[in-house]
Structure 1
């Protein structure tokens, strides 16, 4: 997947050979924000313009712009696993949230 980022908003794009143009969409939003350009430089500018337009539109209509990632996610696990990891976090002297963040961080290194 080809991606680029502007102000934390990630856009994916592809090349349409028939139309001889790159086109893309900003990811991880409920709203649809698109961009296009004939070159990578045009595409970068179009992404920036589209994000800025999105932010301006949100301001004009009094809507809080969506953040690509809030830093929160919900996960469903079995009660047994929940109990096990709470106990492990307590053994390590940590809150459940801190313990899980540490384990996730270890997985991504």
Structure 2
């Protein structure tokens, strides 16, 4: 599986061996937006068109387009993990938020 990015939206891409086409869906939004193509170049064009069509459709119906993510993450962890993370952040001279963002960014690559 691969990804593409355009105007802040990302899509996950898969190859459908039965139909011999690339299929993609915009990730990170609740609305279901898909696209497909036979070649990588056409897939990129189809993805851009899908994002643009999604944004245009939202304007036409008076709906704010969903943004992939707000940047706010809330989750619970074991208190010992919290303590160790806070200690690691302090030792690195960073806030827990700064430290966690860097760690999550590295892990997500």
Which range, TM-score by smaller chain?
0.7 to 0.9
Aligned residues: 104
Quickly say closer, same or farther: Cα 1:17–1:62, change in 2 above 3 A: same
Q: What's 2:97 paired with?
A: 100
1:22-37 maps to which residues of 2 (within 5 A)? 22-37=22-37
Report 1:39-58 matches (<5 A). 39-58=39-58
Residue ranges of structure 1 left out of the alignment (5+ in a row): none
- Structure possessing the higher radius of gyration over alpha carbons: 1
Distance, in Å, in 2 between the alignment partners of 1:69 and 1:6 is 14
Paired position in structure 1 for 2:68: 68
Q: Once the 2 structures are TM-superposed, how far is the Cα of residue 102 of structure 1 from its aligned partner?
A: 2.9
How is 1:10-21 mapped onto 2 (pairs within 5 angstroms)?
10-21=10-21
CA shift at 1:78, angstroms? 5.9
- Return the TM-score normalized by structure 2: 0.75
The 5-angstrom pairing of residues 74-93 of structure 1 reads 74-77=74-77
CA distance in 2, matches of 1:103, 1:18: 42
